[in-house]
């Protein structure tokens, strides 16, 4: 197993909405990798070795199942919790950790806050903190792809809280009118930070909101990889057939904090958490593989052990990577640096050499 999850190929089974049996162990490995990285990053932030992190524990099936159903050419517009989606796309663990640390291996050159990563190579757009901004971006990119004759879809991920935002309305309304080939994937993890879902909307479901915009809304069990995969494959087929977008509500639960700045014990009960832990998507997937003789208990122990070692090695490599060169702050502002910027850069470089710290 490598530092990144196995990248899926386009489904080739007789039923394109069902997961090929050979992919099930790979999907479980991707879920385990996401859980291990997630646990490690939470610990690293508490140790002060990374500055900020947004956990996803409990949402692995929704993320891996949805990402597995896509074509590698499809563009992903994430929120800030889609670590497992990035791993399925093939983003190496070290590359993610480089961004969390902000070292010289970070392709964003330390310009985004930790956990706000993006990779053009993997068609994974950089996340931003304001909720919902990615929705209109995904719709616009989908329309551009259609006009260019590209047979792809765009997928945008967001949480239940985002369905109350202006961007949600604007993006879904535009997509409905123009039948944009976009999949709106809502991970309803029951809490918008500390606001429970029933204090946010009186809609029977979040998916039903799609009705007002003129396209289907689908509710799926977000702990069931098969249900998620099926819903995304069907939505993708609709989009490519020119039938427009789909809103998918994957009902999940955030087992950890909203972010490392959050303490969920202040607003939810231990009893509620215990109830959802019984529905842990990794346990569900493991039992399925055991029952199908696609995994043994020994295999499972070895998988977790190997994965933990690989993630530790990836972090050690990332932590040993030199910091970002301060001179890069003068790059990428213009296609070519202006004379004034060149002068400022030269002055800063001299101050660095002199060790004065002048800026």
Closest to 142 (Cα-Cα) out of 236, 69, 220? 236
List, as own/partner pairs, every contact residues 40-45 make where C-beta atoms lie below 8 angstroms and the sequence separation is at least 24, other chains included: 40/308, 40/311, 40/312, 40/315, 41/97, 41/100, 42/256, 42/260, 44/100, 44/315, 45/260
Asked if 72 and 203 count as a contact pair (C-beta separation under 8 A), the reply is no
Structure tokens given for 170: 């604007």
CA atoms of 183 and 238, how far apart (whole Å): 10
CB 4 within 8 A of CB 92: yes
Q: Is 267 a catalytic residue?
A: yes
Tokens linked to 326: 């301060």
Among residues 46, 120, 267, 287, the one annotated as catalytic is 267
- CA-to-CA dists, residue 262 to 196, 256, 257, 267, 280, angstroms: 15, 9, 6, 10, 21
Q: Let me know if 258 is a catalytic residue.
A: yes
CB contact at 8 A, 348 and 330: yes
**Is 284 an active-site residue?**
no
Out of 35, 116, 123, 258, which one is annotated catalytic? Answer: 258
Is residue 168 within 8 Å of residue 249, measured between CB atoms?
no
Per residue, the 3-state secondary structure of 130-175, as one string, reads CCCHHHHHHHHHHHHHHHCCCCCCEEEEEEHHHHHCHHHHHHHHHH
209: left (phi over 0), alpha (psi -120 to 50) or beta: alpha
Q: Which of 46, 254, 287, 337 is catalytic?
A: 254
Beta strand extents in the chain (DSSP E only):
75-77, 154-159, 182-188, 191-192, 195-196, 217-221, 246-251
Report, as residue numbers or ranges, the catalytic residues.
254, 258, 267
């Amino acid at each position: 197993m490598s530092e990144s999850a196995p990248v899926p190929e386009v489904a080739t089974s007789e039923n394109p909405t069902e997961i090929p049996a050979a992919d099930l162990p790979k999907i479980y490995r991707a879920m385990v990798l996401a859980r291990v990285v997630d646990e490690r990053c939470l610990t690293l932030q508490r140790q002060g070795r990374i500055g900020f992190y947004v956990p996803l524990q409990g949402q692995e099936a929704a993320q891996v199942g949805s990402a597995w159903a896509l074509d590698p050419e499809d563009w992903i517009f994430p929120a800030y919790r889609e670590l497992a989606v990035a791993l399925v796309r093939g983003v190496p663990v070290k590359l993610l950790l480089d961004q969390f640390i902000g070292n010289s291996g970070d392709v964003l050159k330390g310009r985004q806050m930790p956990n706000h990563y993006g990779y053009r190579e993997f068609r994974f757009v950089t996340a931003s903190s304001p909720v919902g901004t990615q929705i209109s971006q995904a719709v616009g990119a989908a329309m551009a792809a259609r006009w260019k004759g590209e047979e792809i879809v765009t997928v945008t991920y967001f949480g239940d809280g985002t369905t109350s935002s202006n961007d949600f309305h604007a993006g879904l309304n535009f997509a409905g009118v123009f039948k944009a080939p976009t999949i709106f994937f809502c991970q309803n993890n029951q809490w918008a930070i500390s606001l429970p879902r029933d204090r946010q909307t009186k809609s029977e479901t979040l998916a039903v909101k799609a009705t007002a915009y003129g396209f289907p809304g689908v509710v799926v069990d977000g702990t069931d990889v098969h249900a998620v995969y099926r819903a995304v494959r069907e939505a993708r087929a609709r989009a490519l057939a020119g039938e427009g977008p789909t809103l998918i509500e994957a009902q999940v639960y955030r087992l950890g904090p909203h972010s490392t700045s959050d303490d969920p014990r202040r607003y939810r009960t231990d009893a509620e958490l215990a109830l959802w832990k019984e529905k842990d998507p990794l346990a569900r997937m493991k039992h399925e593989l055991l029952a199908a003789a696609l995994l043994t208990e020994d295999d499972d122990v070895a998988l977790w052990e190997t994965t933990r070692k690989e993630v530790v090695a990836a972090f050690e490599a990332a932590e040993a990577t030199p910091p970002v060169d301060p001179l890069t702050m003068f790059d990428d502002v213009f296609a070519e640096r202006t004379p004034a910027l060149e002068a400022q850069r030269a002055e800063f470089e001299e101050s660095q050499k002199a060790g004065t710290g002048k800026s």
